[in-house]
Structure formats: structure tokens, C-alpha cells
Amino acid sequence: MLLLLLGIIILHVAVLVLLFVSTIVSQWLVGHGYATDLWQNCSVSTTSNVHHCFFSSANEWLQSVQATMILSVIFSVLSLFLFFCQLFTLTKGGRFYITGVFQILAGLCVMSAASIFTVRHPEWHLNSDYSYGFAYILAWVAFPLALLSGVIYVILRKRE
């Protein structure tokens, strides 16, 4: 039982870390000498080896990607908090519904962020020479994990 609890918490924390990293790290799109994320475009000039970062555009779709990523982080943090609350307050045999619902919401948010980014990024990212960076992949990895941990929360019953 303790092992299961530990496993769930580790899974949740892993999801949180993935969400944070994919939100913050500037590696959503990488190309020759530059990398962009949701917040800024950074380029490394090969001659002087200087990092230049500019703010990303104010494109509406990019903003909604940012918003959904932030929302997923918020929901996941809230879910972890609620899990600890429910761990001590829930009656025996009760289910972690609220925790699970928030975690599933976090998963859906990160999914919508990644899919909006996938579909709409040519609108603000005009350079055609690119490949997806690891932060983008982490966002996609975070989606099933968050969903899985949310479903586990919903299925789980509390034991004494």
C-alpha cells in the first residue's frame, strides 16, 4: 500500500516536472543556430557566439498555447495539493475524485497546448528549417502520464 502511494506521488511529481520543463525550456522548435519556445526566440550567432533572445510574437494562438501550458501546471499543482488534503480528510473507502479530475484537466490542457502548437506554429514561426525540440516532446509525454495518474486517482480507493 505504501509502495503504491509512493509510486503515485512519484508519478505526479514526474508529470509536474515534465510540465514545468516543457513550459520553461526554450526548446520547442530548434533549427540551425536558434531555438524557440513559447516565450522567446533565441539565436546564437556563429561568428561571435552571442546569445540573442527576443520576445515571441503576440500571436493569439501562441498566447493560447502559453495559457493552456500555464493552466496545466496550475491544475497539476492544485491536484497534488488536493491529493494531500484528501489523503488526510477522505473517509475510508472514498475515492480521490477531485484530485483525479484536476489531474485529468491538466492532461487535457497540455494536450490542447501541444496540439495547438503543432497545428498553428507556422503562423508565427516563419523559418521553415526547423525540427521539434525536446520540450515539445516532453509536453506530449506529459499528456498520457497526467491522464494516467488522473485515472489512477479516480480508480483508487483510500484505505486506512
Partner 1 sequence: MAPGAPSSSPSPFLAVLLFSSLVPSPVQAIVVYTDRVVHGAVGSRVTLHCSFWSSEWVSDDISFTWRYQPEGGRDAISIFHYAKGQPYIDEVGTFKERIQWVGDPRWKDGSIIIHNLDYSDNGTFTCDVKNPPDIVGKTSQVTLYVFEKVPTRYGLVLGAVIGGVLGVVLLLLLLFYLVRYCWLRRQAALQRRLSAMEKGKFHKSAKDSKRGRQTPVLYAMLDHSRSTKAASEKKSKGLGESRKDKK
Chain residues that interact with partner 1, rule: CB under 8 A: 58, 60, 63-64, 66-68, 70-71, 74-75, 98, 105, 109
Pick between residue 30 and residue 111 the one whose CB is nearest to partner 1.
111
Which ranges in 57-129 belong to alpha helices (H)?
60-89, 97-120
Shortest spacing between CB 83 and partner 1, in angstroms:
16
Shortest spacing between CB 95 and partner 1, in angstroms:
14
Torsions phi, psi for 34 (to 5 deg) = -150, 160
Pick between residue 53 and residue 137 the one whose CB is nearest to partner 1.
53
Shortest spacing between CB 115 and partner 1, in angstroms:
15
Pick between residue 35 and residue 104 the one whose CB is nearest to partner 1.
104
Pick between residue 43 and residue 59 the one whose CB is nearest to partner 1.
59
Nearest residue to 117 (alpha-carbon basis) of 131, 136, 103: 136
Q: Cβ-count burial of 46 within 10 angstroms (0-12 exposed, 13-18 middle, 19+ buried)?
A: exposed
Shortest spacing between CB 103 and partner 1, in angstroms:
13
Cell for 59?
A: 500571436
Pick between residue 75 and residue 96 the one whose CB is nearest to partner 1.
75
Cell for 158?
A: 483510500
Between CA 73 and CA 44 the distance in angstroms is 29
Shortest spacing between CB 66 and partner 1, in angstroms:
5
Close Cβ partners of 131 (under 8 Å, ≥ 6 residues apart): 29, 30, 31
